[in-house]
Structures are given as C-alpha cells and as structure tokens.
Chain A
Amino acid sequence: MVKPLAAVFSMLLLFGAAKLPFEHRLEQEDRAAFFHGAKLSLGLRDQVGQLGFLAALSGFRSLVADFLWIEAHTAWEGTQWGRMALLFNNVTTLQPRVVMFWDMAAWHMAYNASVAAMQDPKQPRLALRLRAQREYFELGKDFLIRGIENNPDRYLLYERLGIVERDKFGDHCAASRRFGEAAAIRGAPTYEKRFMAYELSHCPGHEREAYERLLALYKTGRREWLPTLLERLEYLQKALNIPAAQRVNIPEKKL
C-alpha cells in the first residue's frame, strides 16, 4: 500500500508543478478581465466576525456581503448612520465589482446621512451640524472614488460622482470632468455628453468650450433641443457676445 501511495503523491506533485504556471496565468487573466481588487484583510475579520470571514474566504463572499447589506438596510431604518458606513465599507470590500453597492452606499451617505446630520436635534450648534454634513458628503464622494478605482469600466459611478460634485459640492468644473469621463466609456448613455456640456457652461473660464460643445449637440438635430440645452446656449451666446449672424435662433417657447 505504501508504494501506490508514494506513486500517487508523486503524481499529484508532478501535476501540481505542471498546473502552477497555468493557474498563475489564469489568475492574471481573471484580474485583467474583472479588475479583481478584493483584499480580505485581517481588519475585516474583526468587523464581519470569524464565521463571516471564514465564509468569505471559502468562496461565499457574495452571500456574506448580502447579509451585511441587509444588516445595513436595517441600520438605515434605525437611522444608525455610523454603523451603516461601517457595514457599507465591509460590503464593498467583499464585493468591489458590484457597482450597485458603491452607488447605494454613496447615496445613503451623501444624501440621507448628510441631511440627517444637518437636521440633528441633539446638536444645537449650526457650525457642528454643517461640519457633520460636509463629512457625510465627503464620505459619499469617497465611496464613489473607491468604486471607480475598482470599476473603471462602468460609467454609472462617474455619473453619480458628477451629480455629487454638482449637487453637494457645487463644483461644476469637477462635475463636468466626471460626466466627461462617464461619456467616454463604451455603452454610456448619450445624455452624459449633454450633462458634461451643461456643467462646463457653469465652470468659470470654460464658457467658449462649453458653447462649442452645446452648439455641436444642438446641430445634431431636434432630439437634442432640450429646454436646459437651449437655455444654456442662449445664456452663453449672450455671455460670449456671439455676433447676431452666428447665433442660433432660440424661440421663446422653447425655453
């Protein structure tokens, strides 16, 4: 019995040596194709518990992430914003390629938690409420930035970051850049280009570029003659003193 065992052991070792470079190459190909970025650090073990960490290590990462997501939903119902942020961090660490997790985590932080912080009845000082609100804006933005790092091939997170830059930080130049990045990704909706041009029209020093982009969109046809586009075009024509002969005639009713 010892001889067959030794023969099998040698066979497994030989097979192991042969498959090692193949597995290494396949791992590289997987990483390149799916941008794997999940790092199951020991810090995560403390946060998801020993069992959860073991399950995550054993190929049930998505299940653990879902349970934590449901827990985060319960925390939301109880308006436990700090706990939610922690759970979102764990969920996105476990499943960095699920865009929806980054998107929803950012939305909860930048929109729901920030509003709750601003209306916090336990905090009478406006300055502190404003600071807390700002911190939640930053937290939401941070989720989106990390989400983009893990999913550079998906347009949605760039778009969401553009919206946060526009609505929460009032930074139209940054918002325009983000919408531009979203528009450059294959499969992105056509409105990303329009959003980019709108935001550029609010960005000081970029009026000429915004005008040219809006004009190009206008010339593509009636489908693009949307109220905001016509309004921004009208504004820029006046701001840039475009000669009357070159101006696009925008009827009042369109506005």
Chain B
Amino acid sequence: MDTPHKIFSPARLWAIASNTLLELVRLKVFYFLLLFALLIIGSSAFMLDFKFQEQFQVLKDMSLGSMSIFSWLLAVLATAMLLPKEIEDRTLYTILAKPVPRLEYILGKLLGILALLFVSILLMSVMFVIALYIKQQAVLTDAVRGLPPEQTADVIRGVKASAFTVSLIPCVAMIYIKSALLASFTLLASTFATSSIFTIIVSFVVYFIGHVQGIARESLLASPNASALSKVFLAFVSLLFPDLRLLNLTDDVVAGNAISSAIFLKTAGLGLSYFCVYTLAAYLIFAFKEL
C-alpha cells in the first residue's frame, strides 16, 4: 500500500541536505583547510622572536581571522553556485517534478550548506586548538626553565591565561552564525539573480556594507536635522542591511575580554533572526519563480 504524501517530510529534507553536502564535498572544497593549516603553522612557527603574549595574540588573530575569511568565502561561493548549477544541470526540474515542495528544496539546500560550514569550522577549530596547545606547551617549557619553584605557578598561570580561554567558544559560535547568515542572504540573492557572478558580487557588497551599517544607523539616530536625502539614504542602509560588525566578537575575545552570556545570546539571537528572515524571503521569491 502506498504511504500518503506528506506536505512536509523531514526524510526528504534530509535527502536533499545530504546530497547537497555530498556534492560540495566532491567539489573538493575542503582543500582550503590545507591553506588554513599552513597559515596557523606559519603564524606559530615564525613568531619565535616575539614575547609569548605577542605569539598567542598573533596566533589567535590569524586563526580566528582566517576562520572568518574562509567561512565567509565558503558560505558565499558554495551557496551562490547551488541554484544556477542545478538549473544548468536540469537537476532542479527533475526534483521539483516530483512531489517535493519548494520550501523543502530551499531548506534542504540551505541545510546542506550549513552542514558544510559546520564541518569546516569544526575542523578549523580543532586545528586551531591543537596549534594553541602545542604553542602553550612550548612556551611553558621555555618559561619555567630555571625559575625558582615559588614563581613557577605564577608564570604557568600567566601563560595559560594568554592561551586558551573559554571565551573562544562563543567567538567561534558567532563565526558560524555569521557565515550561516551570509549563506542565507546569498541564497536569497540567488533566487532572483540571473547568474552566479551577480549573486557573488551582491553578497560581497552586502558583506562590506554590513560592516559599516552601524555607522549609518548611529548617524541616522544621532542627527535628526540631517537633510531629507541623507535621511533616506541612511534609513535605506540601516533598515535593509544587517549589522555584521555587531556579530564580530573576535576582537574583544582576543583582547582578553570575557563575553557575558547576555551579550552572546542577544548577538546570536540577532544573527539567527536575520538568518530566518532571509531564508523566508528566499523561499517566498523561489516559491513564485517561474522555472
């Protein structure tokens, strides 16, 4: 007996998501991890002339900065290719000819990208923690050599405080949320774009504007006497673009600041709400798109 068709099926969603992930893995996107490994090995091996605080500072900055760059590029480039490639290969028509709702298709594709970003960021984090641990052990061995026992505990505490801190975890989590947001925006752009190039350019532009959106917003709120034209421009930027600067906790964490759970939750909530709105918008446009 045939099972009745469900309007929404997690199994179909999973099938689309896992296929998307598999396709991306076959494209050898993980090769960038080699570059990441080279960067962190370089930043930890060639900074030996520096004080240990400087070495940790550079290692953390380089690693977290590279994680941000790679996850951003991966999110934009992998997502921008999805729809145009499926249309070009005609796979999209084959899938949608079956009883697969467009919502499931869009969500499945996005989940595949999210899984790819998750695996990438996880692998980069593991490499980063290993590099940090090796550096910490090397610095500790050097630092405590020849020290009187009463000073050893202080030095070990100092070195460990400069190396791994718990605040690095929310920082990495925010890198993931930010890349998920960028992936959802790129998906939105690709639903109405006519080519991958256009999608990539729009996503890059949004990325850059997103980092200065805060300036536009503060100017809009702080200058009620600005000209009407300026107000319209500032309002346009403030309302339509995400504030990506707010989602960047890396600088504060590397500077040694602890991130309060309230600030982390609010920032993560903001990022996730952008993600949901962009995904919904992508679905709305895709649902009415003539294919």
Chain A positions within 8 Å of B, measured between CB atoms, are 1, 3-5, 7-8, 11-13, 15-17, 19-20, 22-24, 26-27, 29-30, 33-34, 54, 57-63, 65-66, 69-70, 73, 95, 97-100, 104
Q: Are B251 and A97 in contact (CB under 8 A)?
A: yes
Number of A-B contacts (CB under 8 A): 126
Complex CA distance for A1 and B53, rounded to whole angstroms: 56
A residues less than 8 Å from B47 (CB atoms): 70
Complex CA distance for A59 and B15, rounded to whole angstroms: 36
A143 to chain B, nearest CB (A): 16
Can you name 10 A-B residue pairings with CB atoms under 8 Å? A16-B239, A19-B273, A22-B266, A24-B218, A26-B263, A26-B266, A27-B214, A62-B251, A97-B257, A100-B54
B231 at the interface (CB under 8 A from A): no
B181 at the interface (CB under 8 A from A): no
- Select which of A19, A54, A95 is within 8 A of B255 by beta carbon: A95
Q: Are A7 and B69 in contact (CB under 8 A)?
A: no
- Give the contact stretch, choosing among B29-37, B115-123, B277-285: B277-285
Q: Are B290 and A1 in contact (CB under 8 A)?
A: yes
Q: Are A1 and B50 in contact (CB under 8 A)?
A: no
Complex CA distance for A4 and B280, rounded to whole angstroms: 12
- List B239-274 residues whose CB lies under 8 Å from chain A: 239-240, 243-246, 248, 250-252, 254-257, 260, 262-263, 266-267, 270, 273-274
Q: Are B266 and A12 in contact (CB under 8 A)?
A: no
B residues less than 8 Å from A7 (CB atoms): 284
With CB as the reference atom, state the residue of chain B lying closest to A1. B288
Complex CA distance for A54 and B209, rounded to whole angstroms: 11
Q: Are B239 and A12 in contact (CB under 8 A)?
A: yes
Complex CA distance for A104 and B64, rounded to whole angstroms: 23
A residues less than 8 Å from B69 (CB atoms): 60
Interface residues on B, range: 35 or more
- Select which of B62, B239, B250 is within 8 A of A13 by beta carbon: B239
Complex CA distance for A58 and B208, rounded to whole angstroms: 6
B209 to chain A, nearest CB (A): 10
Complex CA distance for A73 and B250, rounded to whole angstroms: 23
B58 at the interface (CB under 8 A from A): yes
B residues less than 8 Å from A62 (CB atoms): 61, 64-65, 250-251, 254
Known contacts A19-B270, A61-B251, A100-B57; A4 and B217 CB within 8 A of each other: no
Q: Are B260 and A33 in contact (CB under 8 A)?
A: yes
Q: Are B68 and A60 in contact (CB under 8 A)?
A: yes
Known contacts A4-B288, A95-B255, A97-B255; A16 and B281 CB within 8 A of each other: no
Complex CA distance for A252 and B256, rounded to whole angstroms: 45
Complex CA distance for A73 and B58, rounded to whole angstroms: 13
List 16 additional contacts besides A8-B188, A19-B273, A23-B270; criterion CB under 8 Å. Answer: A1-B288, A1-B290, A4-B288, A8-B281, A13-B239, A13-B240, A15-B273, A16-B240, A26-B270, A33-B263, A59-B248, A73-B49, A95-B255, A98-B256, A99-B256, A104-B54
B221 at the interface (CB under 8 A from A): yes
Complex CA distance for A86 and B273, rounded to whole angstroms: 42
The binding surface of chain A is classed by DSSP as: helix
A76 to chain B, nearest CB (A): 10
A108 to chain B, nearest CB (A): 12
Q: Are A63 and B217 in contact (CB under 8 A)?
A: no
Q: Are B277 and A24 in contact (CB under 8 A)?
A: no
B25 at the interface (CB under 8 A from A): no
B residues less than 8 Å from A65 (CB atoms): 61
Q: Are A12 and B65 in contact (CB under 8 A)?
A: no
A residues less than 8 Å from B188 (CB atoms): 8
B residues less than 8 Å from A15 (CB atoms): 273, 277
Complex CA distance for A4 and B246, rounded to whole angstroms: 30
A residues less than 8 Å from B54 (CB atoms): 69, 100, 104
- Select which of B62, B246, B255, B288 is within 8 A of A98 by beta carbon: B255
Complex CA distance for A69 and B53, rounded to whole angstroms: 13
B residues less than 8 Å from A99 (CB atoms): 255-256
B211 at the interface (CB under 8 A from A): yes
Q: Are A11 and B256 in contact (CB under 8 A)?
A: no
Complex CA distance for A23 and B213, rounded to whole angstroms: 10
B residues less than 8 Å from A97 (CB atoms): 251-252, 255-257
B210 to chain A, nearest CB (A): 9
B residues less than 8 Å from A20 (CB atoms): 217, 238-239
Complex CA distance for A33 and B280, rounded to whole angstroms: 33
B residues less than 8 Å from A60 (CB atoms): 65, 68-69
